[in-house]
């Protein structure tokens, strides 16, 4: 029997040891070395995204496997499209996604903060502090920081006639986006859209009532808000009327065609009489369907499926305009907007199930005379559509992502109308508060709390660096002014307005967004610090 083969390896101190072939099937990195490798992987991802932070942040160009190009500085989009292999780096991608799903804004900042916390924890590991003690210290510091955020937050008042504060917060969200040239207009559109659908008493914003459509052509300035539903379809026949007033909509998910067996079927026609009989049967069925629709009082048909030329011709002859191949989500939105019911069978159609709208019209735009259908003055006036224009698909897609962030910023203020000030001012203020609290902690966790305070400086440092300022000098100056003047609203003057007071510059961040960044980043770092062993199962050899 052959002896097992041996592999020679060395440990971190250069001492050789032997691994038998059976043992080599499992690769292990154990203890502090494993944690260091995790921190390195996470910091690599954080450093990639760091340059995209703030109003002067740079964009990334992402190329998909099939060659499609995306240009963006949205943290969640960059991380979502990156090919990340390392397990810990994947956790950062999920961190950014959870911030995007829960809050919608601050996806870059949360990753930068997590990367800074891991960088600080590496220095603490070098000093021999146990990972669990570091994690506990970070937790205590996070509690102090979140409580301090509550203290420095301000309440912003808004109402139907007072939207200026909402507008300023939205403009802060859009300041770093590709639409910043038109960010006054985009901010106004976002505020108007959210207030149109919001239930202010319940503090609820149903996003499914806001649809964002985009078409290439025109400029960003041509972007408009439509009080109703926009569908990328036109009338099924060019001779049908292009506008219907006082529209009564039959919303159908059944096709205009004769019924057929559900399973495979075959029909043999062997004579002219049989062919004529089949033609008459189909014609009778079509006429019966159209009669059922007309009898309900409907003057417009919205159909999820298509219909053939004969049905189309009969609809036109019977003065019944129709739109075909309308997708499922659009059908649902039209039903909600017009207070109509979606009807799955012609037999179920009745006048009570019709949707109602003041006007349904085709709009044409661009030199290509593209056509779209606009449903306005709907029975349910809360439904709105934002129609984005742009010079190419890349700009339209990025404008849609920017609008998503701004809509979320307004939504956050309606849920909780407290704000902290941007430009890194809240981070600096929390850093000072955590450092002060650390002096009162007698245990070894005070080192972790001071490290947390240093990590909070990462966001203002990145803002200063991305704005072309000297990061350390700028941060030191703002920090000393916050201590001397006692103003927590002093931050980094990214746009060079000559004023560091973010309150006067109207740079607002929703409180729940900043709080969520601190909580999520701390939770993730704690999870990474508790992983001390990576076991990768190797493939068994023959």
Question: Which residues belong to the active site?
Answer: 74, 107-108, 405
Give the length of the chain.
Answer: 542
CB 402 within 8 A of CB 186: yes
Residue 126 DSSP code? H
Query: Which among 256, 195, 226, 242 has a CA at the least distance from the CA of 337?
Result: 226
Distances from the Cα of 224 to the Cα of 188, 294, 360, 386, 443, angstroms: 10, 35, 17, 6, 58
CB 354 within 8 A of CB 276: no
Residue 492 neighbours by CB distance under 10 Å: 30
The span from the CA of 513 to the CA of 165, in Å, is: 16
CB 21 within 8 A of CB 541: yes
The span from the CA of 149 to the CA of 513, in Å, is: 11
Residue 371, strand partner residues: 364
CB 531 within 8 A of CB 38: yes
The span from the CA of 111 to the CA of 101, in Å, is: 15
Beta strands 418-421 and 508-510, pairing class: antiparallel
Written as one string, the DSSP assignment of 257-273 is: S----SS-------SHH
R_g over Cα of the chain:
30
Query: Which among 138, 355, 46, 389 has a CA at the least distance from the CA of 229?
Result: 355
The span from the CA of 279 to the CA of 285, in Å, is: 10
Residue 478, strand partner residues: none
Could you give phi then psi for residue 129, rounded to 5 degrees?
A: -80, 135
Helix (H, G, I), strand (E, B) or coil at 22: helix
The span from the CA of 417 to the CA of 409, in Å, is: 11
The span from the CA of 33 to the CA of 39, in Å, is: 10
Beta strands 243-252 and 300-303, pairing class: parallel
The span from the CA of 230 to the CA of 420, in Å, is: 36
Written as one string, the DSSP assignment of 128-166 is: T--HHHHHHHHHHHHHHHHHHHHHH-EE---BTTB-HHH
Burial string for 203-224 (b: 16+ CB within 10 Å, else e) reads eebeeebbbbbbbbebebebbe
Could you give phi then psi for residue 462, rounded to 5 degrees?
A: -65, -40
Query: Which among 474, 473, 467 has a CA at the least distance from the CA of 490?
Result: 474
CB 335 within 8 A of CB 342: yes
């Amino acid at each position: 029997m052959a002896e097992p083969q041996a592999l020679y390896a060395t440990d971190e101190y250069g001492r050789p040891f032997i691994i038998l072939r059976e043992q080599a099937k499992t690769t292990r990195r154990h203890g502090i070395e494993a944690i260091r490798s995790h921190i390195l992987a996470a910091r690599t991802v954080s450093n990639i995204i760091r340059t995209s932070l703030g109003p002067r942040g740079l964009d990334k160009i992402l190329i998909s496997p099939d060659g499609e190009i995306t240009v963006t500085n949205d943290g969640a989009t960059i991380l979502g499209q990156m090919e990340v292999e390392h397990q810990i780096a994947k956790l950062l991608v999920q961190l950014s996604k959870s911030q995007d799903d829960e809050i919608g804004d601050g996806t870059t900042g949360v990753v930068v903060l997590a990367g800074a916390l891991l960088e600080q924890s590496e220095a603490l590991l070098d000093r021999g502090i146990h990972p669990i003690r570091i994690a506990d210290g970070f937790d205590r510091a996070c509690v102090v920081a979140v409580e301090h955020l509550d203290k420095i937050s301000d309440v912003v008042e808004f109402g139907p006639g007072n939207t200026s504060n909402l507008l300023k917060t939205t403009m802060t969200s859009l300041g770093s986006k590709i639409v910043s040239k038109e960010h006054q207009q985009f901010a106004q559109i976002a505020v108007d859209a959210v207030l149109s659908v919001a239930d202010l008493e319940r503090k609820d914003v149903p996003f499914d009532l806001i649809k964002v459509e985009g078409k290439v052509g025109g400029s960003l300035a041509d972007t408009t808000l439509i009080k109703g539903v926009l569908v990328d379809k036109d009338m099924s026949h060019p001779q049908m009327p292009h506008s219907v007033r006082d529209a009564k909509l039959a919303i159908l998910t059944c096709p205009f065609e004769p019924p057929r067996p559900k399973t495979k079927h075959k029909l043999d026609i062997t004579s002219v009489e049989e062919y004529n009989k089949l033609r008459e049967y189909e014609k009778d069925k079509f006429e019966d369907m159209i009669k059922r629709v007309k009898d309900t009082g409907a003057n417009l048909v919205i159909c999820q499926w298509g219909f053939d030329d004969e049905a189309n011709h009969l609809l036109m002859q019977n003065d019944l305009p129709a739109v075909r191949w309308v997708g499922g989500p659009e059908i649902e939105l039209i039903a909600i907007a017009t207070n109509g019911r979606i009807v799955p069978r012609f037999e179920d159609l009745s006048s009570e199930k019709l949707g109602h709208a003041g006007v349904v019209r085709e709009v044409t735009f661009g030199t290509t005379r593209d056509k779209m259908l606009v449903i306005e003055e709907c029975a349910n006036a809360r439904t709105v559509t934002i129609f984005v224009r742009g010079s190419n698909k890349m700009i339209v897609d990025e404008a849609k992502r920017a609008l998503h962030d701004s809509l979320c910023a307004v939504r956050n203020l309606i849920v909780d109308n407290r704000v902290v000030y941007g430009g890194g001012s809240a981070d600096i203020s929390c850093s000072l508060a955590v450092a002060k609290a650390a002096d009162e902690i007698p245990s070894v966790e005070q080192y972790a709390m001071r490290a947390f305070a240093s990590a909070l400086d990462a966001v203002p440092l990145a803002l200063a660096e991305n704005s072309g300022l000297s990061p350390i000098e700028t941060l030191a100056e703002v920090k000393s002014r916050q201590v001397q003047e006692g103003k927590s609203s002093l931050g980094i003057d990214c746009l060079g307005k000559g004023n560091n007071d973010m309150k006067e510059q109207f740079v607002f961040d929703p409180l729940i967004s900043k709080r969520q960044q601190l909580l999520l980043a701390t939770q993730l770092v704690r999870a990474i610090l508790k992983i001390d062993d990576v076991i990768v199962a190797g493939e068994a050899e023959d």
